[in-house]
Amino acid sequence: MAASKSKGGANKPATPKSHGKQAVQKTTPKGAAAAAAAAATKATPKSASKATPKFDPLSIGTIEDDEDETQTYDKVLASFGADSDDEEGGATEKEKKKLGKKKEHVDSEFTFELSGGDLLTEVGVGGASYWDFRAAKAAVKGASEGYDVEANSIEDMIARKRLQLKDRKKETPSVKVAAKIVEPVEEEVEDMGDVEMDANGNFIFKDGDDEDDADEEDDEDENEESGAEGDVSQDFEDVELDQDLQMEVDSEDELSGEEDQVTIAPKKLQQGQEDDEDESEDETSKMEDIVNEKRKAAFFAPTPEPEAKSADSSSTDTFTNFRLSRPILKAISDMGYSKPTPIQVRSIPLSLQAHDLCVSAQTGSGKTLAFLIPIIERLLFRPKTIPATRVLILVPTRELGVQCHSVALKLSKYTDISWSLCVGGLSSKVQEAELKKRPDGVIATPGRLIDHLHNSQGFTLDGIEILVIDEADRILEDGFSDELDEIIKATPKSRQTMLFSATMTDKIDDLTKLSLARPVRLFVNKATSLTSRLTQEFVRVRAHKEESKPAMLLALCSRTYKEEVVVFFRSKAAAHYMKVLFGLCGLNAAELHGNLTQLQRLESLESFRDKKASFLLCTDLASRGLDIPGIKTVINYDMPKSYATYIHRCGRTARANQSGVAVSFVGEADRAVLKMAMKASTDEVQHRVIPGKVVTRFEVKVAELKHPAAEVLQEEKKEKEIRGLEMKVKKMENMANFEDEIKGRPKKSWFQTAADKEKAKLLGTEKHMADMGLKRKIVEDTRAPIKRGKFDGLSRHKKRVKMAREDDKKELALQSISARTAKKASRPARLATIPESSSKPSGPGGAGGAKKKSAFAVESSGVRSKKRGPKDASTSSNASGGANSSLAPKSGGGAGKKKKIVSKTLSKHKRRK
């Protein structure tokens, strides 16, 4: 059945006929299609024979393979020692060597397990974690030194301080402090009040920490008194929450004592006042919508309808339906996945057929595999005589790069495909060495990639055939825009481009700069939607109670959400301060933000992943893409400025069919995002009230720990200063010992100054604020225009032809100018001619001969320098092994060939003359 269906579909691509990428498929040589077909047949395990193929495997777009050496599936298998159907007929030793080093062995009995149950759940629980830091950690700059330097870490300082506090506590009898703090800042450390420590150094809240304690005053009164939370009074009136927020979901009994109140927030925000305001804008926005829709229809290729599901759809959606090669199926199976997720079902076939894609699917829906699986499948059939980097995956953060790299390695485990991770914080030298070997794929952050483009000899993006931009809406933001432009220009236009994000934009204006070829738009969910498995809660923070937030957070994390919690802060300093406070309270927290070294960042993630730390205190650095199995709760200590960031932050939990909770502290300034969240939510949004008495108790605690926390931070600061001095001394020593070598190193170049970068960042924020409808402070774009090479972004062949033409033109200009000058010189001098040597006043009409002369001089020097350009370029590409020449075979060789083109055109010109 499978065979007949696939035959039937062979001439009927699953995608629109008019698609722009068909050219790619047309150029696919015979060998590649045959190889794909062979792969399709041989890779199909027996168990898949009943599966109905949903796309035509023969139309798989192959990596450029105009070389004769296209690998057949057998050869690929043979190269890593896997059994092919005909073991004896496998690759020879020589072929094996040529095909690359042996990877893991594929079991000859391997068949893809289709009945693995709901692996999403198993995986989500921790079956196949995406994270493997070994490769990244090995590449961290000066990793070994890092350990020494960090010997006296913040953890040690906190631990010491806790011991000190414990000792002091033993010496000083406990003194009760009043429930209400008047001047908490002035409290002495010794005045621990009713907050005591147990033998293990944990704080004990004597006054009713026990949740069963019913001997409490009325919660509402308490809340009034503390002002931290509680009754939902006037402040929120204008968002019309009041009445409904009073609704109790829990029974009275449950709400007695110190338990938080959790009530349903109303959906009123969707109607009423706002709608009235909107009405006036309705007509205009309708018109805009029509225009936009028309533009979109012209820009995007029609989206193929999802296949109609049979009654038993679960059995039809399997990885074997994609006709993937066996090494990939085996790797997918090893990772514990049995069925593709909906976004994988829809995007993998299109991606295999080399379509440009613009994909939006909810957080945690499996987008990483959605782009990696087809890439690896296609790379299996790449030409291999000359190594080349054909795939580039751009990610916005280093950690996301590490994660994506780790998944790519796992998926490529049974293949000879190589990957390089080029993100900041890891050793540039290690990366440079890797890039020299031309890995098949590079996973990079934009900044580090450009660094290599400018400073790693011979590294170019000329050979990129597939470009993936993960979290594409983020990378399309202004902060990255200059870098993105630079990268796009450096890659060939013929590449396949795939954009992925949970909040993907389909605004044409944003997408045009990526020079997409009729991309297919796959929006599996609304870009504003969050999974229904996520429970959203809001904790209100009144304007004058902002300073109670640390106490509220401690209350939440000590009483309600005690483990597998990620807390997002707006600033690095706040995250760090909280880390100290958590530590002093005996709560085990890791931190993740930009003030840490890369090693510390990775270690933080590791300790949180391994459940050594119950809390991860971080900035938005961790808001996108990070996939840490088992996160139960996300707390927005500071509400993000944009709803998109809110979606991404909340998306760290309730991933891969798991459920989760997102709790947000909402202050006066956060209403815009709150409204959007409420509007977009299909489920009820909860309002959590932490009893005022509880908040007060934690306020006492925070006040008491303020001084010790400050001491820890002071100690840390001193430690850093000492470290800084040590590093300076080391630098000076190095300079003294290796001065010549250090000074002899080529200076690094960068396409933006630090000020430009900062300005770009600011502009990004401004634009974002404007998009959010918030007040915009105009930042003038005073950046100097970025100087880019005239030929950036062109293929090597086109570059050479254009350069040759330019040289010809200059040469012609030179010749005609010199001919004219000679002609002029041969004319008899006019009577009134002023001698050339005499100076003329400058200004209009005053330039005379002197100006012409200088123009000539400029021209000729320009010719000279231009001529040097291509030579230099070809020299560097030769030095790099000419890896890319295989990708543009028709474009010819190196400098020698270029010279020929020049002389050919010149001689033609001369003939014409």
Ligand X SMILES: Nc1ncnc2c1ncn2[C@@H]1O[C@H](COP(=O)(O)OP(=O)(O)OP(=O)(O)O)[C@@H](O)[C@H]1O
| Lateral strand order in the sheet of 615-618 | 261-265, 685-689, 534-540, 660-666, 633-636, 565-568, 615-618, 589-592
For ligand X, the closer of residues 337 and 568 by Cβ is: 337
> Shortest gap between Cβ of 368 and ligand X (angstroms)?
3
Residues 6+ apart with CB under 8 A from 107: 330
Contact 57, 19 (CB under 8 A): no
For ligand X, the closer of residues 394 and 656 by Cβ is: 656
- Give, as one character, the DSSP assignment of residue 657: T
> Shortest gap between Cβ of 404 and ligand X (angstroms)?
9
Residue 77 vs residues 90, 380, 454, 463: alpha-carbon distances, Å: 8, 10, 37, 25
Contact 341, 525 (CB under 8 A): no
For ligand X, the closer of residues 468 and 656 by Cβ is: 656
For ligand X, the closer of residues 473 and 806 by Cβ is: 473
> Shortest gap between Cβ of 47 and ligand X (angstroms)?
17
Phi, psi of 423 (to 5 degrees): -125, 160
For ligand X, the closer of residues 130 and 582 by Cβ is: 130
DSSP string, 844-888: TTT-HHHHHHHHHHHHHHHHHHHHHHHHHHHHHHHHTT-GGGGGS
d(CA 556, CA 562): 8
> Shortest gap between Cβ of 322 and ligand X (angstroms)?
11
Contact 382, 65 (CB under 8 A): yes
> Shortest gap between Cβ of 652 and ligand X (angstroms)?
7
> Shortest gap between Cβ of 366 and ligand X (angstroms)?
3
CA 219 to mean position of chain CA atoms:
44
For ligand X, the closer of residues 367 and 398 by Cβ is: 367
For ligand X, the closer of residues 120 and 662 by Cβ is: 120
Residue 357 vs residues 469, 503, 515: alpha-carbon distances, Å: 10, 14, 12
3-state secondary structure of 298: helix
> Shortest gap between Cβ of 653 and ligand X (angstroms)?
10
> What does the buried/exposed string (b/e) look like for 763-792 if buried means 16 or more CB atoms within 10 Å of the residue's CB?
bbbbbbeeebeeeeeeeeeebeeeeeeebe
Angle at 717 between CA 713 and CA 721, to 5 degrees: 170
CA 413 to mean position of chain CA atoms:
23
For ligand X, the closer of residues 235 and 606 by Cβ is: 606
Contact 514, 799 (CB under 8 A): no
d(CA 398, CA 176): 48
> Shortest gap between Cβ of 609 and ligand X (angstroms)?
12
> Shortest gap between Cβ of 592 and ligand X (angstroms)?
16
Q: Which residues bind ligand X (CB under 6 A)?
A: 119-120, 123, 128, 130, 337, 339-341, 344, 361, 363-369, 502, 625, 627, 629, 651, 655-656
For ligand X, the closer of residues 431 and 657 by Cβ is: 657
For ligand X, the closer of residues 126 and 724 by Cβ is: 126
For ligand X, the closer of residues 366 and 583 by Cβ is: 366
The number of CA neighbours under 13 Å toward the Cβ of 221 is 3
DSSP string, 189-205: TT--TTEEE-TTS-EEE
> Shortest gap between Cβ of 564 and ligand X (angstroms)?
14
CA 436 to mean position of chain CA atoms:
24
- Give, as one character, the DSSP assignment of residue 186: G
For ligand X, the closer of residues 365 and 886 by Cβ is: 365
Encoded tokens for 815: 């010749």
d(CA 158, CA 579): 9
Contact 552, 533 (CB under 8 A): no
> Shortest gap between Cβ of 364 and ligand X (angstroms)?
4
> Shortest gap between Cβ of 124 and ligand X (angstroms)?
6
> Shortest gap between Cβ of 392 and ligand X (angstroms)?
18
Residue 897 vs residues 388, 902, 905: alpha-carbon distances, Å: 21, 9, 13
3-state secondary structure of 811: helix
For ligand X, the closer of residues 399 and 719 by Cβ is: 399
d(CA 853, CA 19): 54
DSSP string, 575-630: HHHHHHHHHHTT--EEEESTTS-HHHHHHHHHHHHTTSSSEEEE-GGGTSS---TT
For ligand X, the closer of residues 119 and 581 by Cβ is: 119
For ligand X, the closer of residues 369 and 760 by Cβ is: 369
For ligand X, the closer of residues 236 and 608 by Cβ is: 608
> Shortest gap between Cβ of 536 and ligand X (angstroms)?
16
Listed as own residue / partner, the contacts of 850-856 with beta carbons closer than 8 Å and 24 or more positions apart are: 856/817, 856/821
> Shortest gap between Cβ of 158 and ligand X (angstroms)?
31
Residues 6+ apart with CB under 8 A from 607: 590, 613
For ligand X, the closer of residues 123 and 476 by Cβ is: 123
> Shortest gap between Cβ of 628 and ligand X (angstroms)?
9
> Shortest gap between Cβ of 556 and ligand X (angstroms)?
23
Residues 6+ apart with CB under 8 A from 510: 473, 476
> Shortest gap between Cβ of 328 and ligand X (angstroms)?
13
Pairing of strands 261-265, 685-689: antiparallel
Single-letter residue type at 440: D
- Give, as one character, the DSSP assignment of residue 149: H
For ligand X, the closer of residues 123 and 158 by Cβ is: 123
